[in-house]
């Protein structure tokens, strides 16, 4: 098991969201909602243009967890509360903190999140995520 302590911060993982990424996600997952592919449709409902799928953003959060935990770990559960849309060209930053450790079972519970900076202010597409990881 990797060395881990309660309160330990996960390294942040940043990614610029592009239309090509969102299109690839839509094609892989089958979610062809025009909010994620057509600027005019997205603008007609109040967005500045196409937005990323919430699950795309959650996938980035999961990548931060897996990068921290390593190849031998098993993500047993991951949850998220979606709070804000993500637009093309924005940089999403995923991270987290160790909340609890069950050394007997080799299990760690993490508080996880995704934030971005919009006009100098933090915005939280995912503010209260959680992951339970069995470390290898």
Q: pTM for the full model?
A: 0.93
Q: What is the pLDDT of residue 1?
A: 61
What value does the mean pLDDT take over residues 99-113?
96
79 neighbors 8 (Cβ within 8 angstroms): no
For residue 2, pLDDT over 80 is answered with no
> What is the set of domains in the chain, with CATH numbers?
13-18+53-134 (3.10.129.10)
DSSP for residue 112: E
Each residue's pLDDT tens digit, 39-64? 999 999 999 999 999 999 999 999 99
Count CB-CB contacts under 10 A for residue 37. 16
């Amino acid at each position: 098991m990797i060395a881990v302590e309660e309160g330990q911060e996960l390294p942040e993982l940043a990614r610029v969201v592009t239309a090509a990424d969102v299109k690839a996600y839509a094609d892989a997952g089958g979610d062809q909602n025009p909010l994620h592919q057509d600027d005019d449709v997205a603008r007609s409902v109040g967005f500045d243009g196409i937005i990323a799928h919430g699950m795309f953003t959650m996938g980035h959060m999961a990548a931060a967890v897996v990068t921290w935990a390593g190849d031998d770990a098993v993500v047993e559960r991951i949850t998220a509360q979606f709070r804000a849309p993500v637009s093309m060209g924005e940089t999403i930053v995923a991270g987290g903190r160790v909340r609890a450790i069950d050394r007997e079972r080799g299990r760690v519970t993490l508080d996880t999140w995704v934030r971005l900076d919009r006009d100098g202010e933090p915005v939280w597409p995912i503010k209260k995520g959680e992951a339970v990881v069995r470390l290898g």
